[in-house]
Chain A
Amino acid sequence: MSTHTESLAGKRYLDDHNPLWSEWRLIAATARTHLLRTFANPIMIMRAPLMPVLMLVTMRVVYSASGQRQIDGQDVVGYLAVGMLATLAWTAAVWGGGSALQSEIYAGTFGAVIVAPGRTTSVIVGNGIGGIIWGIPGLVVCLAIAVPLGAHVDIQHPVAAICALLALYMSTLAIGLGFGGLFILSRQANAMANFFQAPIYLLAGFYVPRSVLPGWLHAISDVIPMSYALDALRDTTLSGASFMAVWRPLLATIGTAALFMAAGVWSLRRMDNALRRRGSLDLL
Chain B
Amino acid sequence: MSARAYPVSAQLRLMVAAASAVGRTKIQTSGLFFYILVWMTVPVFNLFMVALIYRGNNSLQDYAIVGGAGMALLFGMQFNAGEILDNERQRGTLGNLFLAPVPRYAWLAGFQLFAFAEAVSAAAITVAGGAIAFGVHLAINPLAFVLTLLLFVACMWGFSMIIGSIGVAVRDANQLSNLVFTPVALLAGTMLPVALMPLWLRIPARGLPFGYGIQALVGASTRNASVAALWRDLLPLAGFAVLLPVVGIIAFDRVERLARRRGVLDLV
Contacts and interface: CB of A to CB of B under 8 A. Distances in A.
Interface of A: 41-44, 46-47, 50-51, 54-55, 57-58, 61-68, 106, 186, 188, 190-192, 194-195, 197-199, 201-202, 207-208, 212-213
B198 A64 contact: yes
Interface of B: 30-31, 34-35, 37-38, 41-42, 45-46, 48-50, 52-55, 57, 60, 90, 170, 172, 175-176, 178-179, 182-183, 185-186, 191-193, 196-198, 201
Contacts of A55: 182
B37 A191 contact: yes
Contacts of A62: 50, 53, 191-192
Contacts of A192: 34
What are the 5 closest A-B residue pairs judged by CB atoms, nearest first? A198-B45, A65-B192, A191-B34, A65-B196, A43-B175
Contacts of B183: 54
A54 B183 CA distance: 7
Contact of B172 (A43, A51, A199): A43
B42 A208 contact: no
Nearest to A43: B175
B53 A195 contact: no
A201 to B, nearest CB: 7
17 contacts: A51-B182, A54-B183, A58-B185, A65-B54, A66-B53, A66-B57, A67-B57, A106-B90, A188-B30, A191-B35, A191-B38, A194-B38, A194-B42, A195-B42, A198-B42, A202-B52, A208-B53
Given A51-B178, A62-B191, A65-B196, 15 more contacts: A47-B178, A47-B179, A54-B182, A58-B185, A61-B186, A64-B198, A65-B192, A65-B193, A66-B53, A66-B60, A191-B38, A194-B38, A194-B42, A198-B45, A212-B52
Contacts of A106: 90
Contacts, number: 93
A68 B53 contact: yes
Contacts of A47: 175, 178-179
Contacts of A61: 186, 191-192, 197-198, 201
Contacts of A50: 179
B165 to A, nearest CB: 15
Contacts of A42: 170
Given A41-B175, A47-B179, A63-B53, A57 B186 contact: yes
Nearest to A199: B45
B48 A202 contact: yes
- If over half of A's interface residues share one DSSP class (helix, strand or loop), that class is named, otherwise mixed; here it is helix
Nearest to A50: B179
Given A47-B175, A65-B192, A106-B90, A202 B170 contact: no
B90 to A, nearest CB: 7
Contact of B46 (A43, A54, A66, A198): A198
Nearest to A42: B170
B179 A43 contact: yes
User: Among the interface residues B37, B57, B193, which one has the most CB atoms of the partner chain A within 10 A?
Assistant: B37
Contacts of A57: 186
Contacts of B35: 191
A50 B178 CA distance: 11
Given A208-B53, A212-B55, A58 B182 contact: yes
Contacts of B48: 202
Contacts of B193: 65
Interface centre among B49, B55, B172 (most CB of A within 10 A): B49
Contact of A195 (B34, B52, B192): B34
B37 to A, nearest CB: 5
Given A62-B50, A65-B60, A195 B41 contact: yes
A51 B179 contact: yes
Contacts of A190: 30
B170 A58 contact: no
A2 to B, nearest CB: 46
Given A194-B38, A202-B48, A212-B52, A58 B191 contact: yes
B79 to A, nearest CB: 10
Given A191-B38, A194-B38, A202-B45, A44 B175 contact: yes
